[in-house]
Amino acid sequence: MKLIDGLPVWGEPQQNAVDQMQNCMKTAYRGALMADHHLGYAVPIGGVIAYEGQISPSGVGFDIACGNKAVLTDLRLHDISLVSGGISKIMDDIFSSISFGVGRVNDEKVDHDLFDDEAWEIPIAKSLKSMAMNQLGTVGSGNHYVDIFHDEESRVWIGVHFGSRGLGHKLATHFIKEGGGKDGINVDPVVLDVDSELGREYIACMNLAGRYAYAGRDWACQKVASIVGAEILEEVHNHHNFAWQETHGGKSLWAVRKGATPAFRGQKGFVGGTMGENSVILEGVDHPENEYSMHSTVHGAGRMISRSAAKGKFVRDENGKKQRQPGLVRHDEMMKWIADKGVELRGAGVDEAPQCYKRLDEVLGHHSNSIKILHTLTPIGVAMAGKEIDDPYKD
C-alpha cells in the first residue's frame, strides 16, 4: 500500500484513476483505491469512498449491485466428462438456456417476492417494473459471464458475474440527473444527503436493485446446476457496486464500493479472473491495512486496455474518410490463450480477452495482508455475450 497525498492506493498507481479519486475526495470523508483500480465514470473502478450523512449514486455506478456469486456443487471434475457431449454440450446448453446480451428478456418467467417490495411504488421504480420482471435472470454483456470451474480438490463450482441489468442502469441515470450530475468520465460525482427526499428514494431504489441482482444471480446459478445435474452445497455471494452503512474509525459512514469487494474478517468473497485464468474464493482477515481499505479488496483483475483500444475503431483520415484502426488484441491471439488453458468458450470478443487485463494473482498479492485464499477455481467453461454486442451498462 502507498499513500499518495493521503489517499491509500494498492498496486501500481494508475495516475488518471488517482486524479479522479482525488477529485472525488473534495466531497467525501475518506477514500481508497484497490489494486485493480482504473478510470471509471466520475468515480474510479476499484474505488471505495465513505461519506458522513451522504451517499453517491455516481460512486455506486450505473450497474447498481453488480456482483459475483459462486456455488460449490456435489459434482467432481470427472463427472463432467460423463455427461453426454461433455463440457462442450454443457456450454451449448448454458448458452441457449440463459439470455446473454443487451435488452434481452428471460424466456423463462421468474417469479420472486421482491416484486412485492414497497419500493416499487417510487415513481421511477414503478415505471421500470415490467421491464425488470422480464429481464430477471438475464446476464447481459461486457465482462458479465457464467462459468464452470473446478477447484484444487477437483470439485465443480459454478460462477456468475452480473448486476441489476436495465433496472439499475435506468435508476442510476435518473438519480444522477436529478442530483444535478452529468454523464461522463471527467465529471464531478453526484452526492445526495441521505435525509433528503431524493437521497431516501435513491437508497430505497438501490436496495431494491440489490435484491433484484441477488435474485438474478441466484436463478442463473440454480439454472446451471440443473443443466449439469448438480446439487448446490455452498454459496459465496457479494455485491461489488453498492453502498452500505458501516462504522469506520468510530464513525457511522456510508461506504460506497465501486468495483470493490467487502472483505471483513471472516467474510468470504468470490473474485473472478479473466475468461482464460483462475478465479478465487477468498476470506477477509484482520490486519492494520483494513483501516485504510475500509475492509475492502479487489473485485477482479482490473482492466489495462480499454474496450475500444482492444477492438479497434474507425477514425477519419486527413481527407475525412473513415479508416479502420486495428485493435491491440487479435482474435486468434485470444483464442490461442483460451485453447492453451483448455477452456470451452461461448461468445465473448477481444475486448474481454485476457490480454486486456492485469494478472489476478499479482493483483491479489497486493492485498495479501488482509485476505487469505481459500480455493483456487480453474475455468473449464465460459459463456459471455457475443462479440457483436456492445455493453451500455457502464462500470
Q: What pTM value is reported for the model?
A: 0.94
By the 8 A CB rule, do 389 and 102 touch?
Answer: yes
* Burial label, 38 (beta-carbon count in 10 A; 0-12, 13-18, 19+): buried
Separation CA 59–CA 313 (nearest Å): 29
Q: How many CB atoms lie within 10 A of CB 23?
A: 17
Half-sphere exposure of residue 148, counting CA atoms within 13 Å on the CB side? 34
Selected residue with higher pLDDT from 83 and 35? 35
Which of 185, 365, 174, 196 is CA-nearest to residue 282?
365
Separation CA 36–CA 303 (nearest Å): 7
Residue corresponding to grid cell 414503478: 126
Separation CA 126–CA 51 (nearest Å): 28
Q: Domain residue spans in the chain?
A: 2-386
Q: The C-alpha cell of 37 is what?
A: 483500480
Q: Is the pLDDT of residue 392 over 60?
A: no
Separation CA 130–CA 138 (nearest Å): 14
Separation CA 156–CA 82 (nearest Å): 13
Residues recorded for the chain: 395
117-160 pLDDT, tens digit each: 999 999 999 999 999 999 999 998 889 999 999 999 999 999 99
Which of 226, 183, 203 is CA-nearest to residue 97?
226
306-317 pLDDT, tens digit each: 888 998 877 777
How much of the chain, in percent, has pLDDT values that exceed 90? Answer: 86
pLDDT at 393 (0 to 100): 47
As beta bridge partners, residue 247 has 252
pLDDT at 83 (0 to 100): 86
Separation CA 129–CA 136 (nearest Å): 11
Separation CA 195–CA 54 (nearest Å): 8
pLDDT at 389 (0 to 100): 63
By the 8 A CB rule, do 268 and 374 touch?
Answer: yes
Separation CA 254–CA 56 (nearest Å): 9
Separation CA 163–CA 123 (nearest Å): 21
Q: Give the phi and the psi of residue 154 in degrees, each rounded to 5.
A: 65, 20
What ranges in the chain are assigned the alpha helix state H? 15-24, 57-60, 77-82, 86-97, 123-135, 165-178, 197-228, 289-293, 307-311, 331-340, 360-365
Residue corresponding to grid cell 438475464: 138
CATH fold, domain 2-386, is tRNA-splicing ligase RtcB (3.90.1860)
Give 27's DSSP letter. Answer: T
Separation CA 199–CA 175 (nearest Å): 9
Q: Is the pLDDT of residue 229 over 90?
A: yes
44-102 pLDDT, tens digit each: 999 999 999 999 999 999 999 999 999 999 999 999 988 888 999 999 999 999 988 76
326-341 pLDDT, tens digit each: 899 999 999 999 999 9
Task: Classify 233 as helix, strand or coil.
Answer: strand
Q: CB-based contacts of 381: which residues, under 8 Å, 6+ apart?
A: 87, 90, 91, 94, 147, 148, 343, 344, 345, 346
pLDDT at 161 (0 to 100): 97
346-390 pLDDT, tens digit each: 999 999 999 999 999 999 999 999 999 999 999 999 999 977 666
Which of 98, 388, 100, 231 is CA-nearest to residue 90?
98
259-314 pLDDT, tens digit each: 999 999 999 999 999 999 999 999 999 999 999 999 999 999 999 998 889 988 77
pLDDT, mean over the chain: 94
